Amino acid sequence: MQIPWTSFLASLLILASGLPSQNSAVEAVPAAHAPSLHTERTSPLDLEVAGDLQGVPGGAVRYLTRDDLLAMPQTTFVVKNDANFAGPTEVSGVLLEELIRRLAADPDSEMAVAICDDQYRANYPPAYIAAHHPLLVLNVNGKPPSGWPKDAEDHISDMGPYMVSHRKFLPSFKASTYGDEAQIPEGLVRIEFRKEMTVYGAIAPRGPHAADESVQHGYWIAKQNCFRCHNNGAEGGTKAGRPWLVLSAWAMASPEYFTAYVRTPQAKNPHAQMPGNPSYNDKIIEALTAYFQTFSSASSSAAQEKP
């Protein structure tokens, strides 16, 4: 059953207010406990950090070594429903909320953006963090990245130097029957601490229909899924190579083509890397189409581009 938009929004506001932490190690951390950030990379295992950092000029990149991260409070659990692993797996590392408390410049920079080596991006706004407590994984079954299993899909690629997992992921909302989706990137090399309004503002729906319930549902779905690989300007992933306005152009010029590409991209382009979404029912597709069509005036010049 579709949840009324007002109830859906209210539930998000409740989540955004914050839930009790699952780990007592993530109480408020005094600014003096912020780790020293390095200006140069010292190892391939160093984590890049950027965005709105305490005491760091805007636009600058800094680094945390693996030892720096291991010195922070660690959380360990056995994960059983993570698609990156073949079965129950012990993971340990640092909660993203811990990193935000220690590194973010101000309370408005409470969104973590995880960027992978293939330019895939996973976004962790405050509501998601409060609901799911994502963990930056440092060890898998007690081993560093050199001892981690290979990628669950191709069985060849490394999953390090970092990845994200959850103790137990349960969807916290639904939009047009689409459930909240786990953000579990592997090959993570960089984390940015950003303002949610800035990041998501780049893809906020436009025009007179922006507030329509279907458009808003499409917006939430696109934020969790499409935005990981498709960008609008400087925001969003660039793994797909197809920016936001191209998706909008397809949705406006040929909703049938847009639908087919979202569900089974390889049917339209055998070389497409995008995983299909065959489970997306008509309600989800209608919401996504309505949302992307709100960008139509800006995307009309791209309408003829095909993958």
The answer to whether residues 235 and 179 belong to one domain is no
Domain boundary among 168, 201, 234: 201
The answer to whether residues 162 and 197 belong to one domain is yes
Distance of CA 58 to the CA centre of its chain: 22
The answer to whether residues 208 and 190 belong to one domain is no
**Which domain does 122 fall in, by range?**
20-201
Q: Do the domain assignments include residue 5?
A: no
Domain boundary among 154, 178, 201: 201
Q: Do the domain assignments include residue 70?
A: yes
Span of 37-46, 103-112, 117-126 with lowest mean pLDDT: 103-112
The whole-number average pLDDT for the span 44-53 is 97
- Phi and psi at 136, nearest 5°, equal -75, 110
Span of 179-183, 196-200, 203-207, 294-298 with lowest mean pLDDT: 294-298
**Contact 162/121 with Cβ under 8 angstroms?**
no
The answer to whether residues 193 and 260 belong to one domain is no
The answer to whether residues 123 and 60 belong to one domain is yes
Q: How far apart are CA 197 and CA 160, in angstroms?
A: 30
Q: How far apart are CA 68 and CA 216, in angstroms?
A: 40
Q: Do the domain assignments include residue 14?
A: no
- DSSP H helical segments within 173-243, as ranges? 196-201, 213-224
The answer to whether residues 90 and 55 belong to one domain is yes
Q: Is the confidence at residue 146, as pLDDT, over 90?
A: yes
For residue 272, give the CATH number of its domain: 2.60.40.420
pLDDT digits (tens, 9 = 90+) for 273-285: 888 899 999 999 9
Q: Do the domain assignments include residue 7?
A: no
The answer to whether residues 244 and 303 belong to one domain is yes
Q: Do the domain assignments include residue 4?
A: no
Q: Where are the beta strands (DSSP E) in the chain?
A: 47-51, 62-64, 75-79, 89-95, 111-116, 121-124, 135-140, 163-165, 174-175, 178-179, 188-194, 231-232, 235-236
As for how many domains the chain has, the answer is 2
The answer to whether residues 183 and 60 belong to one domain is yes
